[in-house]
């Protein structure tokens, strides 16, 4: 089975794992209500950004590649 690591899906999974680990570490270190509230807002902001980027990638086509113009024509 070929593993595709250079894909948008792999990038998303990696970001989610890193964010989850960071959130768990901060909550374990300081589990106050204010900290949890701030982390929830951080997570919601990340999800909104991720969702908007995913929608943009699905809706807008990738840019066309520019081919060098041959001067001899």
Beta strands in the chain (DSSP E): none
pTM above 0.85, yes or no: no
Task: Give helix 33-59 / helix 8-29 axis angle, nearest 10°.
Answer: 170
The pair of three-digit structure tokens given for residue 42, joined into one six-digit string: 């951080």
For the stretch 29-67, pLDDT in tens is 777 888 778 888 888 898 899 889 888 888 887 777 777
């Amino acid at each position: 089975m070929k593993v595709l690591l250079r894909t948008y899906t792999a990038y998303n999974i990696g970001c989610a794992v890193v964010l989850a680990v960071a959130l768990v570490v901060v909550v374990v270190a300081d589990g106050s209500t204010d900290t949890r509230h701030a982390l929830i807002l951080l997570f919601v902001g990340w999800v909104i950004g991720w969702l908007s980027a995913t929608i943009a990638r699905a809706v807008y086509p990738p840019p066309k590649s520019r081919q060098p113009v041959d001067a001899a024509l």
